[in-house]
Amino acid sequence: MTETLDAPIAAVADAVNAFSDPGELYRVSREAESRVTEGMRAIRQKLVLGLRDQGLTWRSIGELLGGVSPQRAEQISRGV
């Protein structure tokens, strides 16, 4: 699965690395990091909310996510 992520991640890194000004490169790299982080958070939140809508408990959701605590599963549902 990670192989399918290699190309898009490399494309983002290449786009960011195209900036030659050090200050701009730093700012753009931070912006890209922030946007990717926010996008992944939204994906996880949507996933957890969907599982909850299916009637799963926070404990069950946490187990499906690889051993996340029920409290953490609930936090993910709130976008935390």
Model pLDDT for residues 38-54, shown as the tens digit of each residue: 999 999 999 999 999 99
Q: Nearest to residue 80, comparing CAs of 44, 32, 56?
A: 44
Please give the Cα distance from 8 to 15 (Å, whole number). 11
pTM of the predicted protein model: 0.84
Res 3: pLDDT:
79
Tokens of 73: 């599963």
Tokens of 4: 């399918």
Helix count and strand count (H, E) for the chain:
4, 0
Ranges of residues in the chain whose predicted pLDDT is under 70: 1-2
Domain count, the chain: 1
Alpha-carbon dihedral angle through residues 26, 27, 28, 34, given to the nearest 10 degrees: 110
Residue-range definition of the domain harbouring residue 56: 2-77
Please tell me the predicted confidence (pLDDT) of residue 1. 63
